[in-house]
Amino acid sequence: MRYFVTIGDRVVEVDLTGETPVVDGTPVQAEIVSLPGTPVRSLIAGGRSYTLSAHAEERRGRWTLTLGGRKLTADAVDERTRAIREMTGGAEDEVVKSVIAPMPGLVLKVEVEVGQAVKAGQGVVIVEAMKMENELKAPADGVVSRIDVQPGQTVEKGATLVVLE
């Protein structure tokens, strides 16, 4: 299967049809292993080891990756999905940007209001999980269109907390 992975302005073709992955026409020795029950992955590529986390987003094929403290958004689609999006203009659609609970917890504070403009990386909700406070941040610039939680509310992993447009 061939995939097209977009990170920022860069599109990379990844061919997984053979034993060795081929990235933009170049064979790459790589292996990825998931830590069961978590978003953590161990990637060995080009003789180097990387630990990253991968969270599937609402849009099919979209992932939020955290690697070395940096958050990246990646779109990984197969040939068929890519062709359909190109024919229908689906690749140009604006997607809803959401702040999702990364684990079960208790909402301590909502730091934004509906209608408020936020910048990527700005704190929007504080959730307590495993006796630690976690400030969840906006994934992109936007305006708060919906807040689905309030302080004192418990949330499950994957719950939508705040939606930006």
> How confident is the model over 154-163, as pLDDT tens digits?
999 888 899 9
In this structure, what are the phi and psi dihedrals at residue 158, rounded to the nearest 5 degrees?
Answer: 90, -5
3-class state of residue 25 by DSSP: coil
Residue 22: its pLDDT value, please?
92
Q: Which amino acid is at 146?
A: R
Q: How confident is the model at residue 126 (pLDDT cuts 50, 70, 90)?
A: very high
Pairing of strands 97-100, 160-164: antiparallel
Decide: 47 and 56 in contact? Cβ < 8 Å.
Answer: no
Domains of the chain, earliest start first: 2-92 (3.30.700.30), 97-164 (2.40.50.100)
Whole-model pTM above 0.95? no
